[in-house]
A and B are shown apart, each in its own frame.
Chain A
Amino acid sequence: MIEFHLDARSGVAPYMQLIQQVRHAMRLGLLREGDKLPTVKDVVATIAINPNTVLKAYRELEYEGLVQPRPGLGTFVTRTLGGESELAAHEPLRRDLDGWLAKARDAGLDDESIEALFVSAFRQFSQERAGRRG
């Protein structure tokens, strides 16, 4: 059974942190198809957050097709995000990224600038795609 934690200073909304932790656990293989997530009651008894925060995270995960509630039984993982094999499938992308990072460093960008450049491009990319879908 996985356990959640909350980083009060991270600037990421609590419900989003829970979602990221579930996805991360799935990628690492700590959560596999059929595994049960902790109950809302267990989560809040461990990390003292509002129960609605947990409900919101679990609903979002259900919407993404990663988990499924079974009334009276709990919330269960419906997929496996295979850790090693899934990352391995994206090896070419990873190599492209490493190349880009090397170029950015050669151009004189420090860590913060590289991160800012990536985040800015990524956000714009996401918004444009969302706009096209919508």
Chain B
Amino acid sequence: MSSAVVTEGLTKRYGRRTALSDCTLDVPAGHVVGLVGPNGAGKSTLLQMICGLLQPTAGRLTVLGGEPISGSPRLGFVAQDTPVYAGLTVEDHLRLGAHLNPSWDDQLAHDRTERLDLDPGQKAGKLSGGQRAQLALTLAVAKRPDLLLLDEPVAALDPLARREFLQGLMEYVAESGTSVVMSSHLVADLERVCDYLIVLVKSRVRVTGEVEELLASHHRITGGRIDPAALGPGREVIVARHTDVQSTLVVRSTAPIEDPAFTVDGIDLEDLVLAYMTEAGPSGRDRVLEKQR
């Protein structure tokens, strides 16, 4: 299985502000990858670097086996707030796409806009939010890219428009097998469509992996007061909460945990992401420092 994106120690600084710190990733091709984290975590920065729009401060980045190239025909990018030209009609956009992209699939572009009931003569500025998002997606997929990047494509959409956008995206993935990296802070949507996850919090990668494997290896453990250190080797405590009589922990462990003293449950993707976001802490200190307390 080849890699869509490989990074090593990737870092991006703006003066004293660090947008990405020491990110090491090996993102497999042929997956729908969810890039999730709170606002300001560095998601947009990472996507723009993959597109070749930003240069790293440090570290390495390989996209589809080569250097990231701005405007590459192998990449499709739907930027945040689904930018389209308000004064141009739907048909104008498609003509522009055909003109700018050597690999443009005009049949696909027109099939999509017809099925979506987009009036070719309608100015893009007069379309609804959902329609603009669908237009932006059409422009990206009609390039027939090998890698499709989407930056918070559904954040501003109502639930129906969100669902329709994801339906269209999944349909395109089903027929083309294109790799997709989609950023979002809405985990519930990602759980349906993503099979690989990257959690980015405060400029750092917290966890990555196949969604199925992550869900199988993370557990919620509840019981009387538990000392996290007493869980033994091979059990990584992500987050722990204690009252005077009870402990609740989220633990990563490949081996099953069978201890009559605890109740062990699975957790869903949203809780898994929240656990890693909590682990990062309000001050952004690393977990290593927390454990030393």
Contact = CB atoms under 8 A, between A and B. Distances in A.
B255 interface: no
B191 A41 contact: no
Interface string B175-204: 100000000000010011111000000000
Interface stretch (B92-100, B137-145, B164-172, B284-292): B164-172
B188 A50 contact: no
B192 A46 contact: no
B171 A45 contact: yes
B242 interface: no
Given A8-B188, A8-B191, A14-B192, A51 B173 contact: yes
Given A45-B174, A50-B192, 6 more contacts: A8-B192, A44-B170, A45-B171, A46-B167, A48-B170, A49-B192
Contacts of B191: 8
30 contacts: A6-B192, A11-B266, A11-B268, A40-B174, A41-B171, A41-B174, A44-B171, A44-B174, A45-B167, A45-B168, A45-B170, A45-B171, A45-B174, A46-B167, A47-B167, A47-B192, A48-B163, A48-B167, A48-B169, A49-B192, A49-B193, A50-B32, A50-B170, A50-B173, A50-B192, A50-B193, A50-B195, A51-B170, A51-B174, A52-B195
Interface of A: 6, 8, 11, 14, 40-41, 44-54
Interface residues of B, number: 19
Interface in B191-233: 191-195
Contact of B175 (A6, A41, A52): A41
Contacts of B170: 44-45, 48-51
Chain A residues touching B, majority SS: helix
A45 B191 CA distance: 16
Contacts of A53: 195
Chain B residues touching A, majority SS: helix
Contacts of B194: 50
Interface of B: 32, 163, 166-171, 173-175, 188, 191-195, 266, 268
Contacts of A54: 174
Nearest to B115: A45
A54 B193 CA distance: 11
A54 B174 CA distance: 10
A53 B163 CA distance: 17
Listed from nearest, the 3 A-B pairs whose CB atoms lie closest are: A44-B170, A48-B166, A51-B174
Contacts of A8: 188, 191-192
Nearest to A45: B171
A37 to B, nearest CB: 14
Contacts of B173: 44, 50-51
A52 B174 CA distance: 8
B188 A48 contact: no
Contacts of B175: 41
A48 B193 contact: yes
Contacts of B171: 41, 44-45
Nearest to B164: A48
Contacts of A41: 171, 174-175
A47 B169 CA distance: 11
A44 B195 contact: no
A43 to B, nearest CB: 8
Quick one: which of A40, A45, A47 has the most chain B CB within 10 A?
A45
Contacts of A14: 192
B141 to A, nearest CB: 14
Nearest to B265: A11
